[in-house]
Copies of this chain bind each other. A is one copy, B any other.
Amino acid sequence: MKTGISLEEAQTLLLDLVEPAKECLVPLTRAVGRVLSQDIWSDINLPPFDKSPLDGYALQANDTIEVSSSHPVILDVIEEVRAGYTSLKQVTSGTAIKVLTGAPIPNGADVVIKFEDVNRKGNKLELFYPLKSGSNIICAGEDVGQGEIVAKKGTLLNPPLVGLLAAVGVDLVPLFSKLKIGIISTGDELIDPSDDLRSGKIYNSNFYSLSAYCSKLGAEAVSMGIVPDEKDAIVERISKALEDTDLVITTGGVSVGDYDIVPTALDHIGAETIFWKIDMKPGSPAIAAKYKNKLVIGLSGNPAAAFITFDLIVGPIIKRMMGFFQELPPRITATLADDFNKSSGQRRFLRGRLDNINGINYAKLTGKQSNGVLKSMVDCNILIDVPAGSGPLIVGQEVLAVVIDNY
């Protein structure tokens, strides 16, 4: 077991231990926000055929070589083709076929001229200037060629990519299975928000914030309830969660006090502790253990500490298990917009908000920074990374920050 390790070492240790979930085929209408388990190649050209981007006439550019407004050419309109249909006839010299927006280019034609730029009288068409072969034709495969890769394994499906898969005819998508994440809230002090608050008790918030986070990531949070500070009860609940879910998160019971018994319970189960305690504030008492091929991550019971360690450690694990190829949150530099008057003996993450003003990144603190305070998490979109041994921070100094996505 390692102890007092850096955040980066904790992330690496855990990412190396987990694998993407099993594959499954999912209807395209339910695929957004999930991750491709295979590369997707296109079986077709997109668009599948040369087509007209506008309402006009398809003809041969050769027929217009010497044409001018004083010497127009006159062509016979032999057919009309709408989007969704194909022409029965072929364009030859001296003829044209009317094409509507999206219609396939008839055989023999190599240019389209706009409706508004010709003179039509009965079946005769008058043209007044030379045309360049290929003009106003959307070529087959312009968007995606047959056999071309559309998206790689590990890609998160966003709305335009969902559309692109539809466009190349993929209606069932190979995805990594949806994760089930068991969340256990430990602590004699916890009661559910639907109950009445009694003396000495607090409402359980960690289950709600972390399960909302899981659902934002596209995973399913499974409530494993509130468990009292009793070893046997915690052992039983973690064991059940290990059976029912893919990843187990506990909150509370991980410090070194007399009743901090999640580590004891994990030992009792026979789980192998990967690390206990990370060199950062808040969230230092986090523990990670492995039982068979599943992970249990024990987070601090303090709401902000639990949320921040979820952001920095659990989020990346979930993304790796979802099959997403970008697990770690991006890092940026920014100019501090507030003073922070405390020294930081330990490496510390401050809750802040990134604002880009005239191209400059400013990092503003979002409020009180205590371990228990949740309010300053609400508008937080960066965690400012303050190195161990830093003195007070002052407005205008450059800081490093981790970008988190609370929405």
**Residue-wise interface mask of A (190-217) relative to B, using a CB-CB cutoff of 8 A (1 in contact, 0 not):** 1011100101111111111111110110
Closest Cβ–Cβ distance, residue A151 to chain B (whole Å):
7
Tell me the bound Cα distance from A197 to B45 in angstroms: 11
* CB contact between A166 and one of B46, B103, B208 (< 8 Å): that residue: B208
Tell me the bound Cα distance from A255 to B55 in angstroms: 9
Check A5 for interface membership: any CB of B closer than 8 A. Answer: no
**A202/B375 contact (C-beta < 8 A), A159-B209, A216-B159, A257-B101 known:** no
Check A100 for interface membership: any CB of B closer than 8 A. Answer: yes
Q: Quickly give the copy total for this chain.
A: 2
- Find chain B residues with CB under 8 A from A188 CB: 82-85
- Find chain B residues with CB under 8 A from A17 CB: none
B82-A32 in contact (CB<8A): no
A137-145, A231-239, A270-278: which lies at the interface: A137-145
B53-A371 in contact (CB<8A): yes
A47-B216 in contact (CB<8A): no
- Find chain B residues with CB under 8 A from A206 CB: 163
Chain A 138-196 interface residues, beta-carbon cutoff 8 Å to B: 138, 142-144, 150-151, 156-171, 187-190, 192-194
A209-B156 in contact (CB<8A): no
B164-A375 in contact (CB<8A): yes
A29-B208 in contact (CB<8A): yes
**Residue-wise interface mask of A (11-30) relative to B, using a CB-CB cutoff of 8 A (1 in contact, 0 not):** 00000000000000000110
B101-A255 in contact (CB<8A): yes
A189-B28 in contact (CB<8A): no
Check A2 for interface membership: any CB of B closer than 8 A. Answer: no
- Find chain B residues with CB under 8 A from A166 CB: 193, 203-205, 207-209
Count residues of A near B (Cβ-Cβ below 8 Å): 101
Closest Cβ–Cβ distance, residue A255 to chain B (whole Å):
6
Tell me the bound Cα distance from A191 to B167 in angstroms: 10
* CB contact between A370 and one of B104, B142, B205, B371 (< 8 Å): that residue: B142
Check A33 for interface membership: any CB of B closer than 8 A. Answer: yes
A58-66, A342-350, A354-362, A383-391: which lies at the interface: A354-362
Closest Cβ–Cβ distance, residue A258 to chain B (whole Å):
6
A55-B257 in contact (CB<8A): yes
* CB contact between A159 and one of B48, B103, B212 (< 8 Å): that residue: B212
Chain A 35-56 interface residues, beta-carbon cutoff 8 Å to B: 44, 46-49, 53, 55
* CB contact between A259 and one of B83, B138, B197, B358 (< 8 Å): that residue: B83
Closest Cβ–Cβ distance, residue A70 to chain B (whole Å):
27
The 27 listed contacts between A and B (C-beta, < 8 Å) are A28-B208, A46-B374, A53-B372, A83-B200, A84-B188, A84-B190, A100-B257, A100-B258, A102-B187, A104-B200, A115-B257, A143-B372, A156-B407, A157-B212, A158-B378, A159-B307, A162-B209, A163-B205, A163-B208, A163-B210, A164-B375, A164-B377, A166-B204, A169-B203, A171-B193, A356-B356, A356-B361
Supply 9 further A-B pairs (C-beta < 8 A) apart from A49-B199, A171-B193. Answer: A84-B188, A84-B189, A102-B301, A143-B368, A159-B209, A160-B378, A164-B374, A166-B193, A359-B359
Interface residues of A (CB under 8 A from B): 28-29, 31-33, 44, 46-49, 53, 55, 82-86, 100-104, 115, 138, 142-144, 150-151, 156-171, 187-190, 192-194, 197, 199-213, 215-216, 223, 229, 255-260, 301, 303, 307, 332-334, 356, 358-361, 368, 370-375, 377-378, 380, 406-407
